Amino acid sequence: MQKIVIRYLERISGSASINLLGQEIFDDICEALLPVIDPKSQSFIVKRFDGNSNYRWDVEQVSCTSAAGVSPVTYEIVLSSFHHAKPIVYLSTTKKKTNSSLNKIVKPFSLVEVEYGFFQTVLKADGSVGSNKRYSNTLQHGEMRKRRLAVVIKINQSSLQVVPVTCDNTQSGNKSVIELEASTLSKLDFYGRGKRSFALCDMIETVAPSRVYPPAQSGTKLRSTAYSLRLSKSEIALLTIALIHSAGYTKYLEDVKKIAELEQSVNQLKSELDELKVYKVLAGILSKDLVSDLDSARAIMDEEVG
């Protein structure tokens, strides 16, 4: 028996017409996942429809079209085809085309973009919509979402470890967070528009290369598969300290500072000791000459007295 029907419609760009792309019919399945409209970012889904080569779709609208109490519950999801000025080449594709290892393509402290995906809700056969908390195989609240700038900190054989970046300025002041420099952001197309951006070193993520692609460069909007955009030297130093803080090794930094101060004191004492050694040698030479002079004086006096 049909419990749920989800219809996917395409809104044609530049016109008011909507075309049916396809539908999912859930027979004797009591729950289905629905995309959530994100008010802060453009939500998208990945789905392949017959006769259409597009995979990624922007979600424009999610609505119930069936009357209350009527079975099956019917929802319509209005989509628009995702268009981009320049084609996006994912890191996994670059790896395959160049036959190179990940660490030959991307380096630590490179800037990348990561597609984390979006939250979903659960549609039930009675028409109610609830949390997807039971569906642990899907993105959960509290986890990273949407397309996001990130900083690579480690490259593994089949994955990357990245520090995600946010424009949420409430993160400012946290010792595990650093603010990216305006000069770095100005090299990026989407992110270099005056907004402050913060690297969250306490939210390190491991991501697959199929989620990663190069950010668009300012002006040209080109996405260089050489991954040439990276942090400045000063940002790298600050990021390293923030990563240490995020790991809970604050005392380690204090110990490093103490060791540096002690090493400076030891070097100063060594210098003073070397100088004292010179004085010791000089004193030895002078004392020998003095003994010799005293012996000569005594001999002269003995001759005069005699």
Whole-number percent of the chain with pLDDT over 70? 87
The stretch 173-187 carries a mean pLDDT of 91
Task: Establish whether the linkage from the previous residue to 72 is cis, with ω within 30° of 0.
Answer: yes
Half-sphere exposure of 264 (CA within 13 A, CB side): 6
For residues 297 and 4, the model is more confident at: 4
Q: Is 102 helix (H, G, I), strand (E, B) or coil?
A: helix
Question: For the chain, what's the residue count?
Answer: 306
pLDDT tens track for 52-80: 988 889 999 999 999 988 899 999 999 99
Q: How many CB atoms lie within 10 A of CB 201?
A: 25
Host H or E run for residue 23? strand 18-27
User: Could you tell me if 199 and 242 are in contact, meaning their C-beta atoms sit under 8 angstroms apart?
Assistant: yes
Query: What is residue 84's predicted lDDT score, i.e. its pLDDT?
Result: 64
Please, which residues bridge with residue 23 across strands? 7
Q: Is the pLDDT of residue 224 over 80?
A: yes
Residue-wise pLDDT for 86-108, tens only, equals 678 999 999 999 999 999 999 99
How sure is the predictor about 228, in pLDDT bands with cuts at 50, 70 and 90?
Answer: very high
Q: Residue 74 corresponds to which amino acid?
A: T
β-strands 129-130, 147-155 pairing: unpaired
Report the chain's C-alpha Rg in angstroms.
35
Q: Worst-scoring range by mean pLDDT, 187-191, 215-219, 258-262? A: 258-262
Least confident of 17-21, 78-82, 249-253, 257-261: 249-253
Average pLDDT on 285-306 reads 63
Q: What is the mean pLDDT of the chain?
A: 87
Taking the C-alpha atoms of residue 163 and residue 111, their distance in angstroms, rounded to an integer, is: 10
